[in-house]
Amino acid sequence: MKRLRIGHLSTMYHSSFILMGTDWLEKAGIEAEWKLFGGGPAIVNAFENDVIDIGYIGLPPAMIGIDRGLQIKCVAGGHVEGTVMIATPEFLTFDEYKNDSTLFLNQFKGLTIACPPAGSIHDVIIRNYIKDTGHENDIDVLNYEWADMIPEAIADGDIKVAVGTPSLAVVAKRYCDAKIVIPPEKLWPDNPSYGIVATCDIIENSSETLLKFIELHEKASAFICEHTGEAAKLISRTIKIVDEDFVRDMYEVSPKYSAGISENYMASTMRFVDVLNELGYISDKLRQEDIFDLRFVKELQL
């Protein structure tokens, strides 16, 4: 058995929970050692401390790590458009403002937007959105190390608006009466909400094992798309704290899953280079080849 130390998040739509709930990895000769983290930046730190070999991570925090000299590359996709904005019922939606970003954000002047950790893809997207609409002086962003704390803040009345994953949107709708005010596809189209990132050491020295993992990651992604009800049942059994309807609702919020690395996925990722630079998160203008290693998805024809 080949061992892989895998960093993952509590994000339920990631293929990690499908792979945890099946014996696919074991049958492929892979012994998975799963390690849970609160956000992408924590996974970057785990890479830096040689705690994990591969990670489920939004690409902006991975890019921040690469800029710091971390030897990692994105070797597979996973999901696009995984950042959604939610708010309490009194606020209007983006559509109700006829897709005018500036007018839409005007209603949040003087408020604080809750967000997963600083440097996460959600953090970068919302800070860029606020900056582009000229609201950086009248709307604050509050980062939570664990995004799971955000619904509690909404329920307590401390927060009225937040950005985060489709899981957050479903929790907030169920338990806080919050609603989606900007759907994922309108906040940042094709954004690389997560990919599979691996250390260069694993890429070079355990390429066969990594290829097998990516192949099963794609199988799990296809399973989510093609057998959504069965996937929801499996996730519910694996996690035990949510029901099938919750998982199905989560999938419907943002349904684009694939291990492939498309041209749109790469182009959207490269849009983050200037944004990360302007926000002070990276110092260099990263190139596509600094971020991606496409040999595995090409071999698997994904």
Of 137, 167, 187, the one marking the end of a domain is: 187
Q: CA 133, 134, 137 angle in degrees (round to 5)?
A: 135
pLDDT at 244: 95
Check whether 272 has a pLDDT greater than 90. Answer: yes
201 and 292 together in one domain: yes
pLDDT at 42: 95
Helix (H, G, I), strand (E, B) or coil at 132: helix
CATH number at residue 155: 3.40.190.10
177 and 196 together in one domain: no
Mean pLDDT of 274-284: 93
pLDDT at 146: 86
204 and 261 together in one domain: yes
pLDDT single digits (tens) 202-235: 999 999 999 999 999 999 999 999 999 999 999 9
Of 165, 187, 209, the one marking the end of a domain is: 187
pLDDT single digits (tens) 20-39: 999 999 999 999 999 999 89
75 and 207 together in one domain: yes
pLDDT at 132: 93
Query: What radius of gyration, in Å, describes the C-alpha atoms of the chain?
Result: 19
114 and 27 together in one domain: no
Check whether 241 has a pLDDT greater than 90. Answer: no
77 and 171 together in one domain: no
Mean predicted lDDT score pLDDT of the chain: 95
pLDDT single digits (tens) 173-186: 999 999 999 999 99
- Percent of residues, the chain, with pLDDT higher than 70: 100
Strands 30-36 and 2-8, sheet pairing:
parallel
Of 136, 158, 187, the one marking the end of a domain is: 187
207 and 242 together in one domain: yes
Q: Long-range contacts for 104-111 (Cβ within 8 Å, ≥24 apart)? A: 104/181, 104/182, 105/129, 105/130, 105/133, 105/135, 105/139, 106/135, 108/135, 108/139, 108/160, 108/161, 109/135, 109/138, 109/139, 110/138, 110/139, 111/139, 111/140, 111/160, 111/161
pLDDT single digits (tens) 94-132: 999 999 999 999 999 999 999 999 999 999 999 999 999
Check whether 284 has a pLDDT greater than 90. Answer: no
147 and 66 together in one domain: no
- Say how many domains are in the chain: 2
pLDDT single digits (tens) 63-87: 999 999 999 999 999 999 999 999 9
195 and 76 together in one domain: yes
Domain region containing 233: 2-81+191-299
Mean pLDDT of 163-172: 94
61 and 111 together in one domain: no
Tokens 């309490």 belong to: 88
201 and 243 together in one domain: yes
* Ramachandran assignment for 11, one of left (phi > 0), alpha (psi -120 to 50 degrees), beta (any other): beta
pLDDT at 148: 86
198 and 67 together in one domain: yes
